[in-house]
Amino acid sequence: MPRATVMEAFTAALPGAARSDNPRTVLATLLEELSDAGVLRLPHGQAGKWDAGRPALPEHIRLPAVTPPKPTPAATRRSYRPELDWAQTARLTTAHHEVVALINRWFRDTSNRLELRAPISLRERSYEIFQDEKRLDALISGALFAPGRLTLEQLGTYREPPPLAFRQLGDGDTLLVAENSDTYATLRDLLPPNPGRTRAVAFGSGRAFEASIETAKEIRGIQRILYYGDLDAEGLSIPARASVTATQCGLPPVEPATALYDLLLSHTSTPGQPVSGERAHTLTAWLPPRQRQKTHEVLMSGRRIAQEATNRKELAGNAIWFP
């Protein structure tokens, strides 16, 4: 699929993100996420396969070949509700059919009692159908929820974003988020005497922040969201992905807490996981230009810098990092 087609699909699917201040970074982040999930394949190498922008975007992407399903013999077809007609001909495993049978029973038992299909949260619905509150969590990224099959709307459910733990400090307009709990506690304790623009400090809890960012709407007066995390692949991908969610639900984009990252980059890196050149290019695009090159070098060398390197003693003796 050529890049022009990818851009058209991106604009049609996420018009708000496409009109944001940095649509290229948003698109690059989404493509990396889809690649990690196996939905598409990004090109390897640089020459001729990626453009010269920052972050680089692929000239083409590859979609996995789809094998047409073989019709199920009439003798072995199961009797499913109309909502599950697609399951009659889909190529499903025995385990999938066992799951579909339980969902079919739920559709049957609620067909004449629409009040039972009133929306409830994902884990509550999962327990109702499977007596296992985490079963739907495992299923929604798999074959049963592929396009044209099951949807959360059909099951009368929705993802409830996890709560964002925060401490309100002042009357400013800034939410400062720390990836890890110890750094959150340090910021929470050091900021109250002079919070400046910081209205609240929050604990991102790693990847949970990608979903919990939605609940930041409950903190009134927030005009700016700053994030401080580890300088490694996950620590940089979390705020980039959370920023997509934030802009989609009417919040400001997630920006780097640049003064804190300046301090972090003054520390020695430690062993981590190597990152490809294209991936490092995408990850560092979230940072301001002055921090990109050094961070790129850290990632490419298979190293990282944990945010805990800027400990309580250092931050207490250095006020330049205050937001």
CA of 261: how far to CAs of 115, 119, 230, in Å?
51, 42, 9
pLDDT of residue 21: 67
Domain shared by 119 and 222, yes or no? no
Give the CATH number, domain containing residue 306: 3.40.1360.10
Q: Which of 158, 191, 216 is the last residue of a domain?
A: 158
Pair 231, 298: CB distance under 8 Å: yes
Same domain (yes/no): 131, 146: yes
Residue 151 CB coordination number (10 Å) = 12
Q: Does residue 244 share a domain with residue 212?
A: yes
Same domain, 194 and 265: yes
Query: Are residues 174 and 297 both part of a single domain?
Result: yes
Supply the pLDDT for residue 65: 65
Domain that holds residue 151: 75-158
Same domain, 277 and 173: yes
Q: What is the pLDDT along the chain (323 residues), one digit of tens a residue?
A: 787 787 777 777 677 667 666 788 778 877 877 777 667 788 876 556 877 777 778 888 887 765 555 555 544 457 899 999 999 888 888 899 999 999 999 999 999 898 999 999 999 999 999 999 999 988 988 889 988 999 999 999 998 888 999 999 999 999 999 999 999 999 999 999 989 999 999 999 999 999 999 999 999 999 999 999 999 999 999 999 999 999 988 999 999 999 999 999 999 999 999 898 889 999 999 999 999 999 999 999 999 999 999 999 999 988 788 87
List C-alpha distances in Å: 297 to 35, 227, 275, 284.
Answer: 23, 21, 10, 10
Looking at the fold, whether 235 and 170 belong to one and the same domain comes out as yes
Q: Are residues 293 and 200 in the same domain?
A: yes
Cα–Cα dist 220/320, whole Å: 26
State the pLDDT at residue 45. Answer: 63
CA distances from 123 to 100, 152, 153, 258 (A): 17, 12, 14, 38
Per the structure, the count of domains in the chain is 3
Tell me how far apart the alpha carbons of residues 80 and 167 are, in angstroms, rounded to a whole number: 50
Last residue of a domain, one of 158, 179, 214: 158
Indicate if 207 and 80 belong to the same structural domain.
no
Alpha helices in 61-205 (DSSP H): 94-110, 122-130, 135-139, 181-190
Would you state the pLDDT for residue 321? 86
Kind plus residue range of the DSSP H or E element containing 174: strand 174-178
CA distances to 26, 100, 141, 172, 227 from 323, rounded to whole Å, are 24, 51, 38, 10, 11
- The separation between the first and the last C-alpha atoms of the chain, rounded to the nearest angstrom, is 43
243 shares a domain with 131: no
Same domain, 238 and 296: yes
- Output the pLDDT for position 75: 41
The predicted structure's pLDDT at residue 74:
47
* Contact by Cβ (8 Å): 267, 303: no
150 and 234 housed in the same domain: no
